[in-house]
Structure 1
Amino acid sequence: MRQRLLHGLLAAALGAAALLAPPAHAARAGHPSATGCDPLAPAECLLPFPNDWYTRPDPDTETGRRVDFAAAVLPRATTGLPIDPAAWNRSDGFSPGSALIAQVPGLDLAVSGAAPLTDIGHSLDRDAPVVLLDTTTGERWPYWAELDANATDPARRALLIHPARNLHDGHHYAVALRRLKDSAGRTIPAGAAFAAVAGRRLPAHDPLRARQDRLRPSLAALRRAGVTTEGLNLAWDFTVASTRSLTGDLFTIRDDAFRRLGNRSPGFAVTGVTDFTAAQDARIAREVTGQITVPSYLGLPGGPPGSVLNRDRDGVPRRLPLSTQPATFRCEIPRSAFRTPSHPSLYGHGLLGSRSEVGAGNVKDMAVEHNFTFCATDWIGMAKEDIPVVLAALADPNLFPAVPERSEQGMLNALFLGRALIHTEGLGTDPAFRTAEGRPLVDTRHGLAYDGNSQGGILGGALVAASHDIRRGVLGVTAMNYGLLLNRSADFAPFQQVLDAAYPDKLRQQIVLQLFQMVWDRGETNAYANHLTDHHQVLMHIAYGDHQVANAAADVEARTIGARLLSPALTAGRSPDTVPYWGIRRIGSGQLPYRGSAMTVWDSGTPTPPLTNTPPAGTEYGHDPHEDPRNSPAARQQKATFLTTGRVINVCGTTPCTATPTS
């Protein structure tokens, strides 16, 4: 049913894009003649990206800079509508997980010796042709490089450089491309503009002098790191947004809402109670539905799809007077709770779904096997009702800020549901959460847990980071950074058609995806990962060969949050990597049970996913293992032990963890 809805909305979005498309003879939007484009990359405005050329000094930010896109430099869709840069220009830097994008016609990465996904450690070699340098610390940063496998025009194929772990919040980075070669082994010369900038001091009247002055400190930092201008094809620099810039919106509305709430429970109303006989449901005894009243920080009454945060003159989110957001919830209470009060947990649903996923079979199994009551509310912003907005935003980036900003309100809704679930004057006072004799069905003494799958993991890390009530969270079949995930996800195919209609040029598409990520950060784990495990524990469950959530992005998350890998993770020879799970520390057998954040890989026998930025489409990639870990009793045992005790246990013995493929 959801697929039919998606395709119907897709047809409408494509039709609108066709009606609004400019004539074929129209000039290409974002052409480098637009004012403000970086002269180092004359082929396409905004390249190289991210780039401090598109920032300005600002003493009021933590980085001392502020993104300063002009509307003229942002790539217009085929609709021809200019993009309002306000949502981007609130940032004091770029995404910590941003792909670095350049264009080098004729480049052959293998001949050049650049580090691929399968050999990330090679990126730190002394003579690596691509150097990513943290100039704040002088540290070389690991990455992998790839050419966009989706490109249709070899002359406009993007070079994508992916940080292997997120860059440090607020730090400054320099990028150098050197001794790059084509397929015949010929060295590719630097462009004329960069050659002039990297050369001798230009006279004051030279139009490139200002660019040279801006780049000189980074070239000096590269020289100190052993990267001279000899053989340099291109170099540029950028600043990563500060933690405050990345997380400020969500933490501002959280702090304001809970300050107003004080020591009280959020207001709630139970609207439905359904008791099941054992014959009707052997696992769940009672289903409870209702609404939590949450202060709304969205600018439209009721906060419908398409709403963005209401902001004051300084851009700070503010609640409209007396504005509220009803958060509809659904709770599943297992039969075991009628014998012993159950553990309270929030549940996070998957891609553009709804709270009804809390009634899925695997969630019911987890509930009854380990005595959990799971409650869920919709991830508004990324829920079923938001699908039209998500599709429209791909065709018109002006609409895109509604996706992460409404998601932030959705996270606040979940935080209020969690508080009501564990508060002594909250949901537990209602007869729906008590036996007929008045005994509580939920044990609120030991805190709140979180369990989410797929999108529930991608957004769930941000929720856990923002929560003062959640101690530990399980992020199932998870990763982060949609700008990295979308090209690699089988789920993105229907949405890709909208993006193709809006931005037919594949090079420009890559820029647009990273522009999206700059504002998407605020509503998913990517912005919170550098500090996620400062005060919380998380357990990542990964399905090897996942068709929907790329393993490469999960590995970046594990490196970033410092999650340890339960080993052995895979049988010998299963991974194509030179060093499997490079940069992720193992949990030694003597460290079990392990107290800390961890990652467990579940292998269903699915073939290794593509090593390019493409999804595992086609029969050669076999069964999609995306749902297999959550359907494994062993995986549920590991999750339950972790959520209730904080201990990561080995449920797989001396062999890698495997999961039975689900039909």
Structure 2
Amino acid sequence: MRPRLLIRALTALGLAAALLTSVVPAPPAIAADRLPGGGCDPIVPTECLLPFPDDWYTRADPASPTGRRVAFTPGTLPAAFPGRPIDPAAWNRATGFSPGSTLLVQAPGLDLAVTGTAPITDIGRSLRPDAPIVLLDAETGVRWPYWAELDANATSAGRQALLIHPARNFLDGHRYLVALRGFKDAAGVPLTAPGPFARIAGPDLPATDPLRPRQRQLRPVLHQLARHGIAPGTLYLAWDFTVAATADLTGDLTAIRDDAFRRLGDRSPGYVITKVTDHTEAEDARIAREVEGVLTVPSYLNLPGGPPGSTFFRGPDGRPRRLPLNTQAAGFRCEIPRGAFTTPSTPALYGHGLLGSRDEVAAGNVKAMAAEHDFTFCATDWIGMASGDIPVVIGALLDPNLFPAIPERSQQGMLDALFLGRALVHPGGFTADKAFRTADGRPLVDNAHGLGYDGNSQGGILGGALVAVSPDIRRGVLGVTGMNYGLLLDRSADFARFQGVLDLSYPDKLNQQIVLGLFQMLWDHGETDGYAGRLTDGHQVLMHIAYGDHQVANIAAEVEARTIGARLVTPALAPGRSPDRIPYWDIPSTGPLPYHGSAMVVWDSGTPSPPLTNTAPTEGKYGRDPHGDPRNMATARRQKAVFLRTGEVVDVCGGAPCQADPG
């Protein structure tokens, strides 16, 4: 979706970022005694931070809602190019790990097919009584579904990660037990447990044994697994981890939202209209007026005006606070359809795609939606993940010390969007301005249906978080969506242009998987993955999926649907179209339409099914990219419009699987 000019710019910026990063002073060292054992978990001696996530890398904290606090040290985190240690401060605020965590471990010689692990095509197998991988909720005793795969990007069998992906996000604040058993190689020979773990799982070790403290920590895990029929002697490996609490995952964004809206009170946000463009019908048959301007939004970033690279300014309690008089100038653009001059239009926010800008609101499909269904769409740049942030994104791939700026500035971008939405629906806001009225003073926007949200691609991935925290949005459409960048990046054709930068910083593919897991712990605060467990509490969302999408992997949308409780519009695909044993496993059907509630609709353009590995589809073997097809269908736009106004999902495909015309 990005032009060739951007690709050349990325290369140049990557080299510049590398030079800049290399001269930034290293962060101060943090005492290793903050970890229970002062270093790497001894149960897997091959690589620090494996297994991941792992409560070994947490400490007890009575003030934490989970009772735990992440406690990484620079020595346990993979050093960034060129050998610069990572300051763990941003991670160590967490009360646990990501609810979408991919579990990482090594099992040299493992053959997944011979072992019988659950593949991506048969997630239900993960819950069989004899499943070789067991994920168990320590609080409820409930088994958790997953699929397992070996990292297809690994360049060496000795450095290949086993990836275990939750098929539904883990529950916020819960602790999970992991048991690996019955692992076999290609010849069916059982794999021997790692030596340190075998000793820990055996008889009590002498008090002088270095593994004795770890054995004492793991004993409750082994005992609980034994109560569920998993004997210590059958294990290849076992450990536990805690998921971050909801207040941790969403607390920064809700804190700045609450403070900003408290300061705002019952007023409209302040703004300035900078440009009004009226089009003749010959110039634009769909849009009659474009309005551009700048909102003034309280800024909680640590630099005046919150430029790219800014992070939150935090108070003594660790929460974001506002520097005196610091504001964000949030540019916006609104597209008002011709029909609004006859019948006032329905207001909606639009969320742009990957590293784009608010100008995407003028794309042909958005104009078509506005004109066909009388919507006024307004957009602001999703700062943190907008075009101006590209150098920071590249720099963060080179040096994870820069990464907190991405999700933290993204949250400020969400606040900007929340203020834009309030200005759009407030009676003293846009609707009172002559730019949003006819020549004779009639309003062009009608708030009777409330405020909607429509976003595509990145606008869908981040948009779920925006919908979850908005006081004004009732319903949102998440187009060609998914969640969890840690899961998505390997599977996205978009990431190919960034992969070379990550390869420069972390040439080892095993370390890359660890880094993606670390990134996700922070990204949760600025994308849907951290909000999914609460997304449909008081809100409704409609997910539109492009089957075989090259940019946003379908499997990430399926995990999201299970997590938020969205139902599947069926039939979703023609018989035999999916390679899965049970397509869309454990996503219940809406039943006959119309359906009132959150739902997922699959649009099929005939693109081949996506890869069954953690790799991206490519043009050729996997056909053309259908990423843009659903939004370009008039029927899909009609379904979106009805949903945004009524909350009903209506049948626009004649009771058959929805087909999209290849663009």
User: TM-score scaled by structure 2?
Assistant: 0.97
The residue that corresponds to 2:257 in the other structure is 254
Structure 2: distance between partners of 1:650 and 1:85: 50
The residue that corresponds to 1:27 in the other structure is none
Report Cα offsets for 1:379-400 as digits up to 9, x if no partner: 0000000000000000000000
- Tell me which amino acid in the other structure corresponds to 1:350: G
The residue that corresponds to 2:628 in the other structure is 627
Structure 2: distance between partners of 1:519 and 1:600: 29
1:319 offset after TM fit, Å? 0.5
**Counterpart contact for 2:202–2:233, Cα < 8 Å:** no
Structure 2: distance between partners of 1:119 and 1:502: 35
The secondary structure found in structure 2 opposite 1:66 is strand
Structure 1: distance between partners of 2:182 and 2:8: 46
**Counterpart contact for 2:13–2:394, Cα < 8 Å:** no
**Counterpart contact for 1:46–1:74, Cα < 8 Å:** yes
1:205 offset after TM fit, Å? 1.3
1:448 offset after TM fit, Å? 0.4
Matched, 1:408 2:411: yes
Matches within 5 A, 1:203-218: 203-218=206-221
The residue that corresponds to 1:386 in the other structure is 389
The residue that corresponds to 1:149 in the other structure is 152
Aligned to 2:473, which of 458, 466, 470?
Answer: 470
Structure 1: distance between partners of 2:478 and 2:366: 14
Matched residues, number: 650
Structure 2: distance between partners of 1:185 and 1:7: 49
Aligned to 2:492, which of 489, 494, 501?
Answer: 489
1:15 offset after TM fit, Å? 6.4
Structure 2: distance between partners of 1:572 and 1:188: 39
Q: Which ranges in structure 1 are unaligned for 5 or more consecutive residues? A: 23-31
Matched, 1:440 2:443: yes
1:213 offset after TM fit, Å? 1.1
The residue that corresponds to 2:142 in the other structure is 139
Matched, 1:643 2:634: no
Report Cα offsets for 1:241-280 as digits up to 9, x if no partner: 0000000000000000001101000001111000000000
1:77 offset after TM fit, Å? 1.8
Structure 2: distance between partners of 1:252 and 1:483: 25
Aligned to 1:351, which of 354, 357, 361?
Answer: 354
The residue that corresponds to 1:461 in the other structure is 464
Alpha carbons of 1:456 and 1:235: their partners in 2 closer, same or farther (altered >3 Å)? same
Q: Which moved more, 1:265-274 or 1:76-85?
A: 76-85
**Counterpart contact for 1:7–1:494, Cα < 8 Å:** no
Matched, 1:318 2:317: no
**Counterpart contact for 2:18–2:395, Cα < 8 Å:** no
The secondary structure found in structure 2 opposite 1:534 is coil
The secondary structure found in structure 2 opposite 1:183 is coil
**Counterpart contact for 1:17–1:501, Cα < 8 Å:** no
The secondary structure found in structure 2 opposite 1:587 is coil
Alpha carbons of 1:15 and 1:258: their partners in 2 closer, same or farther (altered >3 Å)? closer
Structure 2: distance between partners of 1:466 and 1:20: 35
**Counterpart contact for 1:14–1:501, Cα < 8 Å:** no
The residue that corresponds to 2:6 in the other structure is 5
The residue that corresponds to 2:610 in the other structure is 609
Structure 2: distance between partners of 1:16 and 1:559: 39
1:227 offset after TM fit, Å? 1.2
Structure 2: distance between partners of 1:452 and 1:20: 34
1:368 offset after TM fit, Å? 0.6
Report Cα offsets for 1:26-67 as digits up to 9, x if no partner: xxxxxx9x9510001111000000000000000001000000
1:314 offset after TM fit, Å? 2.3
The residue that corresponds to 1:95 in the other structure is 98
Matched, 1:225 2:228: yes
Report Cα offsets for 1:308-358 as digits up to 9, x if no partner: 000012211000111100110000000000000000000000000000000
The residue that corresponds to 2:532 in the other structure is 529
Q: Which moved more, 1:150-159 or 1:645-654?
A: 645-654
Aligned to 1:199, which of 197, 202, 206?
Answer: 202
Q: Which moved more, 1:308-317 or 1:114-123?
A: 308-317
User: TM-score scaled by structure 1?
Assistant: 0.97
Structure 2: distance between partners of 1:17 and 1:346: 36
Alpha carbons of 1:578 and 1:78: their partners in 2 closer, same or farther (altered >3 Å)? same
Aligned to 1:341, which of 317, 339, 344?
Answer: 344
The secondary structure found in structure 2 opposite 1:521 is helix
**Counterpart contact for 1:35–1:73, Cα < 8 Å:** no
- Tell me which amino acid in the other structure corresponds to 1:9: L
The residue that corresponds to 1:26 in the other structure is none
**Counterpart contact for 1:10–1:391, Cα < 8 Å:** no
Report Cα offsets for 1:468-526 as digits up to 9, x if no partner: 10000000000000000000000000111000010000001000000000001000000
The residue that corresponds to 2:507 in the other structure is 504
1:654 offset after TM fit, Å? 2.1
1:230 offset after TM fit, Å? 2.5
Q: Which ranges in structure 2 are unaligned for 5 or more consecutive residues? A: 24-34
Matches within 5 A, 1:26-425: 35-425=38-428
**Counterpart contact for 2:17–2:394, Cα < 8 Å:** no
Q: CA RMSD in A?
A: 1.4
Report Cα offsets for 1:192-216 as digits up to 9, x if no partner: 1000111111121111111111111
1:7 offset after TM fit, Å? 2.6
